[in-house]
Structure formats: structure tokens, C-alpha cells
Amino acid sequence: MKEKLQKIREEAIEKIQSSDNLDKLNEIKVAVLGKKGELTEVLKGMKDVAAEDRPKVGQLVNETRVAIEEKMEEMRKRLADVAREQKLKNEVIDVTLPSKKNFVGHRHPNTIALEELYRIFVGMGYEVVEGPEVEYDYYNFEALNIPANHPAKDEQDTFYINENIVLRTQTSPVQVREMEKGKLPIRMLAPGRVFRSDEVDATHSPSFHQVEGLVIDKNITFADLKGTLAEFAKELFGEDTKVKFRPHHFPFTEPSAEMDVSCFKCGGKGCRMCKGSGWIEILGCGMVHPRVFTMSGIDPDEYTGFAFGIGLERISLLKYEIDDMRLLYENDTRFLKQF
Ligand code: DAH
């Protein structure tokens, strides 16, 4: 009996030691300690052992089982460690590999142009303000010295919400809203969407954007207007840019002008960009009309000011030499991702 147990023990331990995976170890467990296992068989034979020897043999069987179980547990741990290490090795991440490309959106040409205007004018101390897109007739026309029967009001093809409310046709009403606040001096820039009932084509859209400028203080003169806008043109189109002011008419400014810049493409010699003239029209401007001041509660004898209105699309189309305004609104990513 003793020898038999010894043999079972040695053989089991040897098998355990030479097993190289957990499945094999399990097989051994079944073969030795299982219901029909070798050691179990020995236990079954206990009934043939003499009564006085039973405790001793029992103890021996137990020792054998414990020894085998301990060995098995030790091996199980070792194999589990090996298996885990192997798993980690297989799952290793090479952090030096290039990652998947992340696609980020592009800024719209209008956004880029607007940010450029902010950079220039905020740098000169202007504050950015906004006004409503749905606007009272009063702010859009009347307070800007465009009375009901004024031909300029006919010229503006306006979307009417009702008799008194329109979709603003210009950002100029923000001037009035700012003046009404009564906080002087004013140096403001008002960007925003405007609406006109135009047909869509390469140069027209029923909805586009303007950026309004307004400066009001004591002793502001046309020289301030010229100096400011000449500096703006240089910042936007380059140091060599020249400006030219042509007399014009706007009801809310007196005198009024349109400003041209020397063509940044040909330098003024004449090309396709400037249609051969060497000059490109860029904005409308003028000295704030005394009537506009009075209507907004500012004394025109004490304060003067200048205003300007820039078409944002005009700037982005010129800057990127885009020849069709519709491209700016279609949001075709093949177009947009160029910027
Ligand atoms: N509001 C004018 C327009 O839509 C543009 C404009 C011209 C704005 C002269 C001004 C200005 O502030 O002084 O055509």
C-alpha cells in the first residue's frame, strides 16, 4: 500500500511538472483525484485494509492527496502567470505607431475674413457689438434718415414682416441702437447677416453679411475717416495698398464716399481682378449725418463721427479670388476644405 501510494505520488508530481498548460493540468487532476482517479481507487480499497492499520493508511492517503494538490496549485499558478504574460505580450500597444488621422473642419472663408477684420479694428480699439436681424422699419430706415417716401427705400428690395418690421437690409441700424444707448465716445464694429429680395446669381444672394463701423467723439473729422480706412486697407491687402475716395450718396452720411483700393493682384496696372481699372471698390463710408445724430439724441454741435459699411462676402471673395458667391453658401466640403 505504502509503495503504491508513493508511486502514485511520484508519477503524479512528475506529470504535473511536465505539463505545459492548464488543460493538461486539469486532465491530471481528473485522472488522479477525480471520482475514478487513481487515488480515489486506493481509498475504495480501504475496506480491505486491516482495521488497526486504517488510520495510518488513511493518513498516508491524505498526505499523498495534499502533496499532489499543493504541487498542482503551485503549477496552476505558474501556468496562469505564463498565460497572462503571453496575453499581455500579444496585446502590447506600440505607442510609436502613427495614429489614425483626425479630420477637423475648416473655417469658412467668411469667418476667416471676419476674424481678420476683428484683428484690425479691435486692434484700433473698436468694440464688437451686434443687433437683431429682424428689425423695426424705424431703425433700418427712418432713424437713418431714410423717410418713408425716400427713393433709397425703394432701392432697397426689402423683405417685410409687417408694416413696421423688416428683415434688416443693412447693418447700419446697429449704429442707431448703439447711439441710443447714450454712451459716448463710440468705437464699434457690428458684423451681421442682412437680407434683400435679390435673385441668386454669382454676385447676389438674398442673404449676405455686412460689417458696420461707427466712430463718434468730439472733433472727429473726415481726415480721421481717411486715415483709419487707409490703415485698414494696408493691414488687409498689404503695405503698398493705396486708397481712393469717390463721392457718393448715402442718406445717413454727409458727405458720403465709396472707397476703392489699388488692385492687390496687379498693383494697379489693370488685370482681370480689377476689370482693367487698377482699382477695386471695397466699402461705403461717410460722416454721420446731423439728422441721424439728432434723432438718436446726440447733439451734432458737440459730437461728430464717421461710419462705414463693408460687404463681408466681397472681402472673402476678393481675398481668395473666388469668382462665384454661391460657393460660399453651398457648404460643399470639397470647396470649404481648401481654406
Ligand atoms: N448701409 C450701406 C449699404 O448697405 C453701406 C454703408 C455705407 C454703411 C456708408 C455705412 C456708410 O455705415 O457710412 O449699402
The C-alpha cell at 235 is: 493691414
**Which residues in 99-230 belong to E strands, given as ranges?**
127-128, 134-136, 165-167, 186-195, 207-217
Other CB atoms closer than 10 Å to residue 101's CB: what's the count? 6
Please return the burial class of 27, using the count of CB atoms within 10 Å of its CB with bins 0-12, 13-18 and 19+.
Answer: middle
Task: Read off the pLDDT band of 156 (50, 70, 90).
Answer: low
Q: To test ligand 1's pocket by mutation, which of 194, 225, 248, 252 has the most ligand atoms within 8 angstroms of CB?
A: 252
Residue 18: predicted pLDDT: 87
Overall average pLDDT of the 274-293 stretch: 97
109-336 belongs to CATH 3.90.110.10? no
Q: What's the pLDDT score for residue 236?
A: 96
Phi, psi torsion values for 266, nearest 5 degrees: -110, -5
pLDDT at 154: 60
Q: For the chain, which residues make up each domain, given as ranges?
A: 2-90, 109-336
pLDDT at residue 20, as a whole number? 86
Q: Which of 172, 288, 292 to mutate to test the pocket of ligand 1 (most atoms within 8 A of CB)?
A: 172
* pLDDT tens-digit map of 238-280: 999 999 999 999 999 999 999 999 999 999 999 998 999 999 9
- Band (pLDDT 50/70/90 cuts) for residue 114 is very high
Q: Is residue 286 a contact partner of residue 214, using CB atoms and an 8 Å limit?
A: no
- Beta carbons of 191 and 312 less than 8 angstroms apart: yes
- Closest residue CA from atom 8 of ligand 1: 309
pLDDT in tens, 10-47: 888 888 888 888 888 888 888 888 888 888 888 787 78
Residue 67: what pLDDT? 85
> 158: Cβ below 6 Å to ligand 1?
no
**Predicted confidence band of residue 155 (pLDDT cuts 50, 70, 90):** low
pLDDT for 17: 86
Protein residue whose Cα sits closest to atom 12 of ligand 1? 308
Please report the pLDDT score of residue 59 as a whole number.
84
pLDDT on residue 65: 86
- Tell which one of 158, 167, 170, 249 to mutate to probe ligand 1, the residue whose CB is within 8 A of the most ligand atoms: 170
Q: Could you tell me the distance, in angstroms and rounded to a whole number, from the CA of residue 288 to the centre of ligand 1?
A: 11
C-alpha cell at 102: 483626425
Local confidence band at 329 (pLDDT 50, 70, 90 cut-offs): very high
φ, ψ of residue 217 in degrees (nearest 5): -165, 180
* pLDDT digit string, tens, across residues 310-321: 999 999 999 999
> pLDDT per residue over 181-218, tens digit each?
999 999 999 999 999 988 999 999 999 999 999 999 99
Q: What is the mean pLDDT of residues 311-333?
A: 95
**From residue 144, how far is each of 222, 267, 296, 298, 316 by CA, in Å?**
19, 36, 9, 14, 27
Q: DSSP string covering 232-301, please?
A: HHHHHH-TT--EEEEEEEETTEEEEEEEEEE-TTTTTS--TTTTTSSEEEEEEEEEEPHHHHHHTT--TT
Ligand 1 atom 3: residue of nearest CA: 170
Residue 152 reports pLDDT greater than 70: no
Q: Indicate whether residue 307 lines ligand 1 (CB < 6 A).
A: yes
pLDDT in tens, 65-108: 888 888 888 888 888 888 889 899 999 988 899 988 888 889 99
- Non-local CB neighbours of 60 within 8 Å, separated by 6+ positions: 1, 2, 5
- DSSP helix/strand/coil, 148: coil
Query: Among 131, 208, 195, 187, which residue's Cα sits nearest to residue 306?
Result: 187
Bridge partners for 119 per DSSP: none
Which residue's CA is minimally distant from atom 6 of ligand 1?
A: 309
Q: Is the pLDDT of residue 151 over 70?
A: no
What average pLDDT does range 222-241 have in this prediction?
A: 97
- Is the pLDDT at 221 greater than 70, yes or no? yes
